[in-house]
Amino acid sequence: MPPLNQEQKLKKFEEMKFMIESEGYRLHSKAWNGFRGYIDLSCPKGHSYSVTWVKFKQGNRCPRCNFEKRGLNFKGFGENGVTRKEYQQAMADKFQKELESEGYKVISNQGKVKYSTNKTEIKVLCPNNHEWEVNWNKWDSGKRCRFCFEERMRKSTEEIRQELAREGCELIGEYKGSNYSFEYNCSCGGRGRTRIKDFRNGTRCNRCRGERNREKMRELRLKKIEEFDQSTEN
């Protein structure tokens, strides 16, 4: 493509300005700078930044507004116009909100989350008043109060122990949740390992399975003999 003359450049600039300002943005650059040249603008909220015209046309909008909307997906500093401090404040607010929405109370730093990195430990009281420390990493991956967790595990271990006992079986060790198998002494005297769902469905140890199979085979043999007897009778 031959270089644009002054008139064409002006036309491009006017087009660009019109499109940008029709979205409530303001264009600060004063001249056409090419499709891939950077232009300075500010978004409807007044955030200033630079972007290439190509990117804007492709739909890229104010990175800071984007960041404020998404918070978490933020992937770096500088380029998108967010300073480290702004990021830390946004994360602190977000963390605080999430903690409080689940009934956790921040007790360090006069009740305010102080966020430096995703590994900064925050001292909290859980809804059951356990004192616990958590950082954003752990919280975001779903970790909650360790003491509540241990209590729940103790409780469910006890419940599972009783459930097994009603079937004449004995839980060995701890119950770690429905996704994990546990070992038990089976009512038949054998030893089994299974998950609670399978246990409830009647699955028992290998020895029981062996006996059930023998029982089934015996029934099958009896049925065959019976059939044979009937066929010879006729």
Decide if 202 contacts 186 (C-beta within 8 A).
Answer: no
Does 188 engage in binding with Zn ion (CB under 5 A)? Answer: yes
Q: Which is nearer to Zn ion, 43 or 164 (by Cβ)?
A: 43
The size of the interface with Zn ion (CB under 5 A), counted in residues, is 19
For Zn ion, give the closer residue by CB, 23 or 159. 23
Q: Does 34 bind Zn ion (CB under 5 A)?
A: no
CB 159 → Zn ion: shortest distance, Å?
19
* Contact partners, residue 204, CB within 8 Å, separation at least 6: 169, 186, 187, 188, 192, 194
CA distance 204 to 186: 7
Q: Binding of Zn ion at residue 20 (CB under 5 A)? A: no
User: What DSSP string describes 85-149?
Assistant: HHHHHHHHHHHHHHHHHTT-EE-SGGG----SSTT--EEEE-TT--EEEE-HHHHHTT---HHHH
Decide if residue 47 touches Zn ion (CB under 5 A): yes
Given the complex with Zn ion, which of 43 and 91 has the nearer CB atom? Answer: 43
Cα angle: 49, vertex 66, 89; to 5 degrees = 90
Task: Select from 26, 94, 130, 191 the one that contacts Zn ion (CB under 5 A).
Answer: 130
Smallest gap from residue 24 Cβ to Zn ion (A) = 10
Residues that bind Zn ion (CB under 5 A): 43, 45, 47, 62, 64-65, 126, 128, 130, 145, 147-148, 186, 188, 190, 204-205, 207-208
